[in-house]
Chains A and B, each alone.
Chain A
Amino acid sequence: MSRKNKLDKHIIKLLNQYFLSGDTQQEKARLAEELAAILYSPALILGCDFIPSESRLMKEAVALSDAFESLTNGMPDESAFAAIDGIKEDSLLFPWYGFVKGVQSFYEGDHDSCLSHMARVPRNTAPSRFGAFFQIILTGGSDGEDKPEWSQLSKNVLESKGVIRDSLELIMESAEMEDLLLESAGLLIRDIVRDDRDSAAAILMWCFEQLQLKDILSDKAVLKGRQLFGEQEGYRLSALATLSFDPDRSLVFWLHSALACLNESETTQATVRAYLKILKDVSETVQSEFDLSEEYIRLIGSLVSELAEQIQHIYPSFPGTDSEDDDPFSMIAGLSGEKQQKQRKTREIRQSAAVQLELFAF
């Protein structure tokens, strides 16, 4: 015994009329409009044996069903996606094309693109109803469309934040023991870092914050961050986490992160400038608020020198590197006060590197 409800029967009847007896264009358009408003799945067409397998409608239904199934199972089928790109605006299934593209963006984490695709799905069609669902989960707006079905759907297609919250509460219970906290946090972060790097980074920041509040954020924690996120990101997150608590320590991490950025990845001048801006602000704080040891100054001097050489190596024409006046490092160098000026030019290095070192020649 097969189970079909009235809606299914009605849709199949309309499909039959649309495909077999839509004699006039006007009648076909009327049927298409009625169908588009209630066709809740392109997969319904697959069961219609009165539609030949070689027909355009059947081929589009197969491609859309395959693309959507592969997408929602986490194994996108590229050939199915290539096939749906051929669906034209005059197709009965065109609204489903826009919807599938929207869901694809959703799973890729590109929420703006998702909303943009959904906004282009023709109004008054069945898949256009999902526009309200995405508005609710991505923007918090509901426009009176906050239906129980959407709540159920969101529970199924979104990870519960409660799971992470519960894990964090457990982690907090071990905040007195750094090793245990780092081990627990590491397991949680490893679990999600591939699919959701932003959440993983936020969790690491949260854990660093808890350790700092207990005054036990050690180099082991920083090492864990580097192991989980790589040198550049690990040092960057460590620098960010320690910025308010330990700016002197943060400055070292920012320098390591900038160096790793130049060593590890294709970077841009905008990124380099952003790093320099941060280094300037942090070094200003460090100089004004701390009595710095000779060892610390030597460390900073060595890192800054290395950074300058790296930047000049990668960007030989980096704006200003040939002229001290508009040298990008001068914004750091400009912070050096009279005390620093007296000890300048202690090494024979290239001009820009020397400009940087002035800052740290305390």
Chain B
Amino acid sequence: MNIMDIIDSRIDPWEVLDIPRDAEDHEIKEAWKARTVSGRKRDRLHLAYKMIATAEDRELYRLLSPGTPETLEGFEQQLPLRSRYSGPGIWYNSLKKILETETGEEQTTE
């Protein structure tokens, strides 16, 4: 593939093939074959496979990333999620609220 083809494709091959980022050559090939059998989006699947089939292909993709988005909205979408440290309480409380709502058990004061 020409490098401009890779840049212009604007696809995430791992996402298209539904495989983890650390997938090995054989896992990538198996995923490509399995999904191609279903008959949908063959061209896209084949493109995704060609982009990351070998270690060299994956390095090429890495070196050519990130692409430059055309709009600020596109850029915002491209930004990866950034986690924030906010302590354990918000996790526990969110789950508690959901369970309370489902069980109908409201807060009371002792």
Contacts and interface: CB of A to CB of B under 8 A. Distances in A.
A112 B21 contact: yes
Contacts, number: 169
A5 B108 contact: yes
B105 A169 contact: no
A73 B85 contact: yes
A281 interface: yes
B99 A72 contact: no
Contacts of B100: 5, 7
B79 A201 contact: no
A137 B95 contact: no
Contacts of B68: 205-206, 208-209, 240-241
B66 A205 contact: yes
B39 interface: no
B59 A1 contact: no
Most A C-beta atoms less than 10 A away, residue of B22, B79, B80, B85: B79
Which secondary structure characterizes the binding site on chain A?
helix
Interface in A51-106: 65, 68-69, 72-74, 103, 106
Given A6-B108, A270-B54, A156 B66 contact: no
Contact of B98 (A68, A149, A196, A278): A149
Range for the number of chain A residues in contact with chain B: 35 or more
Interface residues of B, number: 52
A161 B76 contact: yes
B95 A196 contact: no
A5 B90 contact: no
Given A5-B106, A149-B97, A157-B83, A198 B76 contact: no
Interface in B68-82: 68-69, 72, 75-76, 78-82
Given A38-B103, A130-B95, A270-B56, A157 B75 contact: no
Interface of A: 1-7, 10, 38, 40-41, 43, 65, 68-69, 72-74, 103, 106-107, 109, 111-113, 116, 126-127, 129-130, 133, 137-138, 147, 149-150, 152-153, 156-159, 161, 164-165, 168-169, 172, 192, 195-196, 198-199, 201-202, 205-206, 208-209, 236, 240-241, 243, 268, 270-271, 273-275, 277-278, 281-282
11 contacts: A7-B99, A69-B87, A159-B82, A165-B76, A169-B72, A172-B72, A196-B82, A243-B7, A270-B55, A275-B63, A278-B64
Give the top 10 A-B pairs by smallest Cβ distance, nearest first.
A74-B85, A274-B59, A5-B107, A6-B105, A159-B82, A112-B20, A270-B55, A41-B92, A274-B60, A153-B94
